[in-house]
Structure 1
Amino acid sequence: MNNKKTRFAACSLMMMLASFSLSTSAKEWNTIQIATEGVYEPWNRTLPDGSFDGFEPEMAKLLCQRMKADCKIVAQDWDGLIPGLKAGKFDVVMDALAISAERRKVIDFSRPYTKAPATFIALQSSGIDLGRGTLHLRGNPELDTPAVDDLRNRLKGKLIGIVSGTVYSKFIRDQFGQVATIREYKTPPEPLMDLKNGRVDVVFEDLGFLSGELQRGGDSGLALVGPAINGPIWGEGEAFGIRPGEPELKAKLDAAIDSLIADGTISELSRKWFKHDFTPPTE
C-alpha cells in the first residue's frame, strides 16, 4: 500500500513539473501586435485606407519577415502608447521612441534602430538664426549648460513650441525655460500649425520629422534655423518599447535589427524617408 502511495505521489509530482515546465516555456512570438501613432511623418503615417506607411512601418514589415512573425500594426495616440503597452493592449511600441533613463523605469527597449539628432525650425521670414553645424551634448547639465549659452541668448524672449512627454521637452524646459516661453502640445503637427500661423517663434523636433515636413510642404515658408543637436543627451537612440520580462521578444527584435543594420537596410530606408542616414552606432 505504501509503495502504491509512493508511486502515485511520484507520478503526481512529475505531472505537476511537466505542467509547470509547459507554462514557463519560452514564448515563440509568432504573432506580434505593434502600436504606433500613425501621424509622425515620415517616421510613421496613416494612409487613407487605414494602412500605415513611413520609415518605421516599412522597417517593421522587413523586420517581421526576418523574425518569421505575423505582425499587425495598430493606431494609438502618443499619451496612450506606454500605458497601453503596460496594460497588455499590444506587444510593442514603435513611434520614434527614444531610450531614456526615465522610460527605462517603466518599460524595456530593443536595441536602437536609429539615432536621430534634433533641431529648430522657424518661418523663413522671421530672420531667426540660431547657428549651424552640430552641437554635441552629453545630458549632463554642468557640461551642457555652457555649450548652449549662445542658443540661450538667441532665444531670449522667444516662444518655443514642443511636444510634451518627450526627451526634447525636458531639454527645452531645463535649458530655455528661464529665458523663453515654452508652449507644449499633444501631437507633432500642432506646434507646426501654430508656427505657420505665427503663434510660436520656433519649434524644436527631431531632424527626421522636420526634414519630412520640409519635403511635404514644398514652399511652406519654413526653414531649419539651428544646429543639429546630438549626443548622449537623447539616450542611445530610437527603439521598440516592450514590457519588462519579455526576453524572448527582445532577443528576436534585437537579432532582426542587427541584421537590418549589418546589410545596410536601415541606412537605405533612412536615406529614403529622411534624406539623412540615422543608422545607430554598432555595439
Structure 2
Amino acid sequence: MFKRTLTALLAAFALAGCSGGNSTATNEQTLRIATEGAYAPFNHTNADSTLGGFDVDITHELCARMAVECQISAQDWDGIIPALKGGKFDAIISAMSVTPERSEQVAFSEPYYSNSLVFLARQDSAFDPNNASDIAGAKIAAQGSTISSQWLEATHPNAKAQLYNTLDNAFLDLGNGRADAMVADLLPALTWLGSDLGKNFTIKGAPIDINDHFAIAVNPEDAELLAKFNQALADIKADGTYDKLVTEHFGEMAANTSK
C-alpha cells in the first residue's frame, strides 16, 4: 500500500522540481508518522489528546521541508515497529535508538539526537550505581523493549529488573516505592524529576554514555523516502532550526550535546 503512496509522493516531488516552485500537488500527499505519545519531553499526549514534544515539532519541520503533509498518530511502543512493517505508518519518529536488532527490521535515518542513560533513586537513598552489589540487590525499574532495559539486562544480568510497558508506569512504581531505583534516558528523567512525584528523587552517579543515537525509522524498501528525511534533517541543522527546537524543548546545555 505504501509503495503506491510513495510513488505518488515522489511524482509530486518531481512535479514541484519541474515547475520551479511549490506545487499544490505535494500538499495533497500525507506521510503517516508514528510516535509513542508517552515519552516526555520527546513525545507526549496533551490533556486535549493532541500530541506534543520534540519529536512532534521536528516531524512538522521535516514534513514542511519535504513539502508534504504529515499525520502524526500515537502508537504503543511494543507495537510501533510491527505497525510500520504492517503498512499502518510510513515512518517512526519517536526517540527510537538505533540498535543492530532494530536495523534488521527497519532502515534508520542519520541520527537526530544523542542520548545518555542515568540511574534515579530517592535523594536519601544510599544506592550507588558504581557499586555492583547495590545494583544486584536493588529492584530496578525500566521501560521494557528500550535501550535502557536492554543495557540493564546486558550489563547487570544479576539485577532485579522490573520492566514496564510504558515509561510513566515505571516512574509511577519508582515514585511510590515499589522499585528501589530506575534506569532511564537522561532527558525524560530530568522531566520527571521536576514533577510532584519525582521531587524527592535525584540522579545517582554520572550519566552513562552508551553511544546511543535516536533516528527516524522507515521500511527498508523505502530508500527514496529515507533520503528525503536525511536531506530535510541536514537542512534544518544547517539553517539553525534544529538548534532552536533543541533549545526550546531541552534548554541551552542540550543544544551543545545533541548532535
- Tell me the alpha carbon deviations over residues 78-127 of structure 1, each in whole angstroms, 9 at most, x when there is no partner: 11100000000011111100011110111111111101111111111223
- Please tell me whether the aligned partners of residues 109 and 226 of structure 2 are also in contact (alpha carbons under 8 angstroms): yes
- In structure 2, do the counterparts of structure 1 residues 209 and 23 end up closer, same or farther at CA, with 3 Å as the change threshold? closer
Larger Rg: 1
Q: How much identity, in percent, do the aligned residues show?
A: 33
User: Aligned partners of 2:6, 2:169: CA distance in 1, in Å?
Assistant: 46
1:201 aligns to 2:180 (yes or no):
yes
Q: State the secondary structure of the residue aligned to 1:208.
A: helix
- Please tell me whether the aligned partners of residues 35 and 74 of structure 1 are also in contact (alpha carbons under 8 angstroms): yes
- In structure 2, do the counterparts of structure 1 residues 54 and 119 end up closer, same or farther at CA, with 3 Å as the change threshold? same
User: Aligned partners of 1:23, 1:32: CA distance in 2, in Å?
Assistant: 9
Q: State the secondary structure of the residue aligned to 2:95.
A: strand
Match of 1:157 in 2: 137
User: Aligned partners of 1:127, 1:23: CA distance in 2, in Å?
Assistant: 55
User: TM-score scaled to structure 2, two decimals?
Assistant: 0.84
TM-superposed CA distance for 1:39, in Å, is 1.0
User: TM-score scaled to structure 1, two decimals?
Assistant: 0.77
- Tell me the alpha carbon deviations over residues 143-177 of structure 1, each in whole angstroms, 9 at most, x when there is no partner: xxxxxxx4424423111111111122121112212
Map of 1:206-221 to 2, 5 A cutoff? Answer: 206-217=185-196, 220-221=199-200
TM-superposed CA distance for 1:250, in Å, is 0.4
User: Aligned partners of 1:217, 1:227: CA distance in 2, in Å?
Assistant: 23
Match of 2:221 in 1: 245
Match of 1:124 in 2: 123
- Please tell me whether the aligned partners of residues 117 and 228 of structure 1 are also in contact (alpha carbons under 8 angstroms): yes
> Aligned letter for 2:223?
P
Match of 1:45 in 2: 44
- In structure 2, do the counterparts of structure 1 residues 23 and 213 end up closer, same or farther at CA, with 3 Å as the change threshold? closer
Aligned length: 236
TM-superposed CA distance for 1:256, in Å, is 0.8
Match of 1:182 in 2: 161
> Aligned letter for 1:255?
Q
- In structure 2, do the counterparts of structure 1 residues 248 and 24 end up closer, same or farther at CA, with 3 Å as the change threshold? closer
- Please tell me whether the aligned partners of residues 266 and 279 of structure 1 are also in contact (alpha carbons under 8 angstroms): no
1:170 aligns to 2:150 (yes or no):
yes
> Aligned letter for 2:132?
R
- Tell me the alpha carbon deviations over residues 166-212 of structure 1, each in whole angstroms, 9 at most, x when there is no partner: 1221211122122x211111100111111111111111111111111
The runs of 5 or more residues in structure 2 that have no matched partner are 13-28
- Please tell me whether the aligned partners of residues 95 and 215 of structure 2 are also in contact (alpha carbons under 8 angstroms): yes
Higher RCO, 1 or 2 (CA under 8 Å, sep at least 6)?
A: 1
User: Aligned partners of 1:218, 1:195: CA distance in 2, in Å?
Assistant: 9
- Please tell me whether the aligned partners of residues 27 and 248 of structure 1 are also in contact (alpha carbons under 8 angstroms): no
- Please tell me whether the aligned partners of residues 39 and 45 of structure 1 are also in contact (alpha carbons under 8 angstroms): yes
Q: State the secondary structure of the residue aligned to 1:58.
A: helix
1:273 aligns to 2:249 (yes or no):
yes
User: Aligned partners of 1:24, 1:60: CA distance in 2, in Å?
Assistant: 18
Match of 2:76 in 1: 77
- Please tell me whether the aligned partners of residues 96 and 239 of structure 1 are also in contact (alpha carbons under 8 angstroms): yes
TM-superposed CA distance for 1:72, in Å, is 0.6
User: Aligned partners of 1:69, 1:43: CA distance in 2, in Å?
Assistant: 22
1:255 aligns to 2:231 (yes or no):
yes
Match of 2:16 in 1: none
User: Aligned partners of 2:186, 2:5: CA distance in 1, in Å?
Assistant: 45
The runs of 5 or more residues in structure 1 that have no matched partner are 1-21, 131-149
- Please tell me whether the aligned partners of residues 212 and 274 of structure 1 are also in contact (alpha carbons under 8 angstroms): no
- In structure 2, do the counterparts of structure 1 residues 112 and 217 end up closer, same or farther at CA, with 3 Å as the change threshold? farther
